[in-house]
Amino acid sequence: MGKELFDNIPSKIGDLLSDVKNGKIGLPDLQRPFVWKDSKARDLLDSMLKGYPIGYIMLWQSPEDYETVSRIGTNHKTYNRPDYLVIDGQQRLTALLASISGISVVDNNYNKRRIRISFNPLTREFAVWTEAFERNPEWISEISAVFDADSEHNVSKFRRHFIKECNAGREKNGREPLSDDEEEKIETNINDLLNLSIYTLPTLRINTKATEEDVAEVFVRVNSGGQKLTEKNFIETLLAVYDNDVHDKIDKFCADSRIPTDGTSYNFILKVDPSHLIRMAVAVGFRRARLRYAYMLMRGKDLDTGLVTKEEMDKNLDKFKNALDKVTNLNDWHTFMRLFSDAGYVNSSIVASSNAVVFCYVLYLIGKYDYKVQPLTLQKIIKKWIFMSTITFFYTGSTESEVEKQFADLRNVTTADEFVSYLDGVISTRFTDDYFNLTLPSALMSAAAISPAWFGYIAALNVLGTPMLFCSTLLKERMLPGSSGDKKAIDKHHIFPKNYLTTLGYTSDRERNQIANFTYLDYNTNIDISDDPPAEYVERYRRKLGEEGYRKTCDENALPIDFEKMSYPDFLEKRRKLMAGIVKKAYLKLCE
């Protein structure tokens, strides 16, 4: 039998929370996003009071190769460095620490809030705090008030005051005062609430000799859900615990990156999370695409020699911080977001992969800071790159391998002109005549709901400033929802309606939901057309628009003239070629 990598040591909740407070256990700050709803924290406390199991905590002994680290979090702690890092159980410990101690947490939108849990000592019931519980004298509005009474004298004083308030409330409502049995029940249940601090939680303490691969394997084997522990989990834990300033910068940018600033618009394209920024910083600073490299670098590993040293860790962390400063520059970020929008991708619904946003931004920053490309030249080439890479699946599939290859190519690029020429060269190898004549029409032969080819066509319409079919309103304008709401102003409509196709014998969704059978219509036009056969609704709009207007809207929306008279298969074949032509036209406009 091999040597065990961990010890299973039952731990009391009170001891765990105490160790978190004094820094012995490295739990990321309570200023990190807390994803649980308050009701989940309530259920956790209820399970503990009933003696039910609530899972386990996994701790990893701090690596020996760290000599000194910053204090964890923003409050003074006894320990300069933690003895253990929390690998699994962060949300549970955060919920307990916040609800019991009354400490604020930050939600996914980076707004501060408290986890306020109420308790009824007569019924042993927990509830999420509301004004009603605040006003009801038979409820303890916040359990943190009980735990604040940390001595027997103060607990007795709290209990007497609670009973007094209960009786006053009952007298006010014309009810009998608490009976002796009820007062005894209150005392017992308040004591049971306080005794949650001695609730025992299974704790796996993985020793310092275990590698990240060992920890991941332990996690998978003991986790009943079979959840995979990724490099992202390790990196975020290390940054949160060992360098609070870095993690604060990451969290702040995640919150600020979607908010309009002077002269900028709301970012509808990507909701940034820490893993995006880690990828970006490692790519910009180290020209590495794989997250596993990020973890190795943060641990102080020299990727050439394989040695792990404190000196290498300090050097890598400084390099990471410098790259992160560039990545989190809001002016650069908003400039880049405008380029993404100018390339036709105006919201997240038509971006098939977040990696496209991440690595296009990396190229933008490398071009600006490493190659010093002139702003207008850089913006033009990046717009073309965004347009090409998103529609050709460049960042879909083996993304990390593709980007690693690109970084290898860039090692031979030394000047601004060479950088621009390199990107132009890659674009040219993708956007060939065969691509527009054969590859793209073939990619449009699909009924997939998420298709880079379809999204690229929609982006092309936005680049060209195309109005919606049978309408004067630009599609791009209607694809930008207000920052305070997302009510649909447009609808994705079947040009040959589904019910009509069914009458023709096309009964499968794969046949009826072909990409080439879709267009966007404004809400009113969609209602007007409904399930009418093409010959009927086209005739109405042809009369309304006039022959010139009809031909113009067909040309702009890649529709063959007299398409309403075509067989469905002929229509699809001709429209795919026209859609590919629209994409090519938009690309040529970006090249101007």
Spatial neighbors of 5 by CB under 8 A, at least 6 apart, are 206, 207, 209, 210, 214, 218
CA 523 to chain centre: 30
Q: Cα-flanking dihedrals φ and ψ of residue 18, to 5°?
A: -65, -40
User: What integer pLDDT is reported at residue 64 of this predicted model?
Assistant: 53
Q: Cα-flanking dihedrals φ and ψ of residue 195, to 5°?
A: -75, -5
Does the residue 367 lie in any domain? yes
Whole-number Cα distances in Å, 472 to 270, 335, 468, 482, 519: 29, 29, 7, 20, 15
- Cβ atoms < 10 Å from Cβ of 342: 18
Query: Which structural domain range is residue 546 located in?
Result: 439-591
DSSP element (H, E) containing 112: strand 112-114
Q: Please indicate, yes or no, whether residues 279 and 419 belong to a single structural domain of this protein.
A: yes
Does the residue 252 lie in any domain? yes
DSSP string, 184-238: HHHHHHHHHHHGGGG-EE-EEEE-TT--HHHHHHHHHHH-TT-PPP-HHHHHHHH
Does the residue 194 lie in any domain? yes
DSSP string, 458-521: HHHHHHHTPBPTT-SSBHHHHTS--TT----SEEEEESS-HHHHHHTT--SHHHHT-GGGEEEE
Does the residue 234 lie in any domain? no
Helix%, strand%, coil% for the chain, nearest 5: 55, 10, 35
Q: Please indicate, yes or no, whether residues 403 and 475 belong to a single structural domain of this protein.
A: no
Residues 321-352 have pLDDT tens digits of 899 999 999 999 999 999 999 999 988 888 88
Burial grade of 269 (CB within 10 A; 0-12, 13-18, 19 or more)? buried
End-to-end CA distance of the chain: 69
Q: What span, in angstroms and rounded, lies between the C-alpha atoms of 144 and 100?
A: 5
User: What integer pLDDT is reported at residue 71 of this predicted model?
Assistant: 34
Residue where a domain terminates, one of 365, 397, 431 = 431
Give, as one character, the DSSP assignment of residue 399.
Answer: H
Q: How many structural domains are present in the chain?
A: 3
Tokens at 59, concatenated? 């701790």
Q: Please indicate, yes or no, whether residues 35 and 170 belong to a single structural domain of this protein.
A: yes
Q: Please indicate, yes or no, whether residues 57 and 187 belong to a single structural domain of this protein.
A: yes
Q: Please indicate, yes or no, whether residues 386 and 443 belong to a single structural domain of this protein.
A: no
Q: Please indicate, yes or no, whether residues 575 and 444 belong to a single structural domain of this protein.
A: yes
Q: Please indicate, yes or no, whether residues 293 and 371 belong to a single structural domain of this protein.
A: yes
DSSP element (H, E) containing 385: helix 375-391
Residue where a domain terminates, one of 413, 431, 449 = 431
Q: Please indicate, yes or no, whether residues 426 and 443 belong to a single structural domain of this protein.
A: no
For each of the chain's 592 residues, which pLDDT tens digit applies? 455 777 788 899 989 888 888 878 877 655 456 778 899 999 999 999 999 988 888 888 765 544 434 333 334 455 556 778 787 788 888 899 889 988 888 776 667 788 999 999 999 999 999 999 999 999 999 999 998 876 556 888 888 999 999 999 998 888 999 999 999 999 999 999 999 999 998 888 888 777 665 665 666 566 544 455 566 666 666 666 556 677 778 878 888 887 776 666 667 888 888 888 888 999 999 998 887 777 777 777 787 887 878 788 788 888 888 999 999 999 999 999 999 999 999 888 888 888 899 999 999 999 999 999 999 999 999 999 999 999 998 887 778 888 889 999 999 999 999 999 999 999 999 999 999 999 999 999 998 878 899 999 999 999 999 998 888 888 888 887 553 344 456 788 999 999 999 999 999 999 999 999 999 988 888 888 888 899 999 999 999 989 999 999 999 999 999 999 999 999 999 999 999 999 999 999 999 9
Residue type, position 210, single letter: A
Alpha helices in 262-374 (DSSP H): 274-286, 291-298, 310-327, 330-342, 354-365
Look at strands 25-26 and 84-88 and give their pairing: parallel
Q: Please indicate, yes or no, whether residues 171 and 51 belong to a single structural domain of this protein.
A: yes
Residue where a domain terminates, one of 431, 456, 482 = 431
Q: Please indicate, yes or no, whether residues 562 and 416 belong to a single structural domain of this protein.
A: no
Does the residue 118 lie in any domain? yes
Does the residue 320 lie in any domain? yes
Q: Please indicate, yes or no, whether residues 261 and 359 belong to a single structural domain of this protein.
A: yes
- Give the three-class secondary structure for 381: helix
Does the residue 584 lie in any domain? yes
Give, as one character, the DSSP assignment of residue 178.
Answer: P
Do the Cβ atoms of 578 and 558 come closer than 8 Å?
yes
Q: Please indicate, yes or no, whether residues 223 and 247 belong to a single structural domain of this protein.
A: no
DSSP string, 73-103: SSS--S-SS-SEEEEE-HHHHHHHHHHHHT-
User: What integer pLDDT is reported at residue 68 of this predicted model?
Assistant: 38
Spatial neighbors of 529 by CB under 8 A, at least 6 apart, are 493, 497, 521, 537
Does the residue 29 lie in any domain? yes
